[in-house]
Amino acid sequence: MEIGMVLLKQIVIMFLLMAVGFYLYRQNIITDQGSRDIGKIFLYLVIPVVVVMSFWIERTPETTESLFHSNLLSTAAMVLSVSVSWMIFYNNDGVACFSSSFSNVGFIGIPLVQAVLGSSAVFYISIMIVIVNILQWTVGIFMITRNKESMDIKKLIRNPIVISVAIGMILYFLRIPCPPIADTLCTAIKGLNTPLAMLVSGVYLAQSDLLKMIKQKKTWIVCAVRLVVIPLLTIILLKWIPFGSDTLKLAVLLAAACPVGSNVAIFAQQYHADYREAAEHVCISTVSCLFTLPLIAIVGAYII
């Protein structure tokens, strides 16, 4: 019941924000160029700040060990997710491949883990947020563009997520304290994460045929892979890995079982792919996770 209520609250908020974007576009308040500019702010400012702040915490032996284990488990889970998605979708649809590979760890994963496992468990999935963003900016872009230049090492080094990870690691390991004014500023920017992503997703949905969206067989296949196939395989993977606490493993599982990441449509638009299809994946998977996530959590807690 607790998981269901947390999910319901988050989903209602997401859809209300999408509804605002939908309305603003239909009223010509937000244009196509405006949505593209908002997307750039999201990708080049908001996400990097979220990543930096996930590392800007007090360093202790316990947090360092947890960070190390979380890194290994999250990497293993993401390799599994990308591999499964690649085998199923890459030859047919890069956007579908991107959608099924990357979950909405930030908006759905963080509050869900916090409610189910406690506030301290949120740190366990902070590294997964970093890994997801790095993969989105590299492998994810390659999925969409089919362009090997997107994997260029020079572009990777200049990638805002890679830069923000480097900054975050320096802040963490050097134990640099976070000044109150920096904390306030970054917290304010972090607060733009979900509103901007869902606002733009609503704009994309306003350009789609909603009835046609429900009838799209491929969208439902993407959702099934993202919400059922990958989480079940993740349970098996985590059960097999001999290290890491049960709480850490369950936190990683919940993050891996979240719906399609809300920024997939933004990436699709920035790289001239079918962003309307991407928005459909976000919408349908977000509604569907209300039913799948509690079941995955129960199965995972029993097996792990």
* Spans of all domains in the chain: 2-303
Of 247 and 214, the one with more pLDDT = 247
Judge residue 287's burial from the number of C-beta atoms within 10 Å of its C-beta, 0-12 exposed, 13-18 middle, 19 or more buried: middle
**How far apart are alpha carbons 126 and 34 in whole angstroms?**
30
Neighbours of 270 (CB within 10 A): 17
DSSP 139: I
Averaged pLDDT of the chain: 85
Q: Give the model confidence (pLDDT) of 52-86 as tens digits.
A: 887 888 888 888 888 889 999 999 999 999 999 99
Quote the pTM value.
0.78
What is the Cα–Cα distance from 211 to 244, expressed in whole angstroms? 45
Structural fold of domain 2-303: Na+/H+ antiporter like fold (1.20.1530)
Portion of the chain with pLDDT greater than 90, in percent: 25
Query: Hey, is 103 helix, strand or coil?
Result: strand
